[in-house]
A and B are shown apart, each in its own frame.
Chain A
Amino acid sequence: MSSGDDACETCLERQPWTSRDDNSVSHPPWRVRVSRSCNWGDSKQPRRSARKFRAIEGAIERSRRLLDLTKGWDDESAEPIKESTWRRATSFLRRTVQAVFRRSSVVLPTPHISPCADGSIDLLWKTSHFRLLVNIQPEGEGDSDFFGETPNGLSVKGTFRPEEREFGFIDWLAT
């Protein structure tokens, strides 16, 4: 598999390389080059495992379109999505995917990443095994919340702060 000369081999995002001498990182025996700004860098797993998350990383990249939405994007009064909210949501998504993988070796499917009229962001997983909706609010504007359930009636819900909550526990939903 080729990740391209200018792409991080962990997250496969194209981003400027820092020089080998002072910033680039090598991980024998994988010898994977990882950009210092790589968002997957805090994984406890071998960095190569992040390749399993390419689909999710692609969805995150595509979700940048949310930042182009202007006030009234629903032809009514919808708020734009702040970059800080997008970063909050995508950071939460990455940490959740990693946490579930650490706990159960399950790679979560790719969620829908959708804008909400109040400036928050929804992450929605819908599969035949489970569904989970996580709403990420802009920083300082109310609680983020979530609701998940399985077809056999197990469910989980609550409010949380995306920076503080470890969502690895949802592995039972996905397995």
Chain B
Amino acid sequence: MTEPEDDWPQEVIPNSDILFMRVHRNFVEDGELQPNAFRDQGAGMSTNWQKYCVTAEEARRRATKNPQNNGVVRLGVGPIRNIPLTVEHTPDWALEDRSHADVIGQKTAEVRMRLLDIAEWAIKLDDDNV
């Protein structure tokens, strides 16, 4: 029998690629993304690799609760690595999420400000009726 790990091997994510990250409305003030949006959950900061999560809307739908409470930002892999942080493809077999990727490294005040600098809205909460 084929193991899921065989179907979804861990891949190297190129610097030119894009990650999506959901941002809950409680991390947005006056429509503006705040640095508290960048935090670790487990091994790192959870994101979705665009290669297997093609649209920002798809990333938003992957929220386990209340997707409508989330906006989505896009982050370039190269700029993340320049901060410097590590980007690892970490497929989540339990949640059947091949796109899952972790951004690993301490989220100090400086790092979070750098992440704020490179994040761009893909789905802004203001655009929705949330």
Contacts and interface: CB of A to CB of B under 8 A. Distances in A.
A77 B34 contact: no
Provide the main secondary structure of the chain A interface: strand
Interface string B18-38: 000000101101000011100
A73 interface: yes
Interface in A85-129: 112, 114-118, 122, 124
A147 B38 CA distance: 15
A147 B36 contact: no
Provide the main secondary structure of the chain B interface: mixed
Nearest to A155: B110
B41 A76 contact: yes
A135 interface: yes
A133 B66 contact: no
Interface string B82-118: 0000000000000000000000000011101100000
A145 interface: yes
Contact of B39 (A118, A133, A145, A157): A118
Interface string B24-63: 1011010000111001010000000000000000000001
Contacts of B63: 75
A116 to B, nearest CB: 5
B83 to A, nearest CB: 12
Contact of B109 (A77, A78, A133): A133
A74 interface: yes
Nearest to A131: B113
Contacts of A134: 109
A123 to B, nearest CB: 10
Contacts of B66: 75
Interface of A: 69, 73-78, 112, 114-118, 122, 124, 131, 133-135, 145-147, 149, 157
7 contacts: A74-B24, A76-B65, A122-B34, A133-B112, A146-B109, A147-B110, A157-B109
Interface of B: 24, 26-27, 29, 34-36, 39, 41, 63-66, 69-70, 108-110, 112-113
Given A74-B27, A115-B26, A117-B39, 11 more contacts: A75-B65, A75-B66, A75-B69, A76-B65, A116-B36, A118-B39, A131-B113, A133-B35, A133-B112, A145-B108, A147-B113
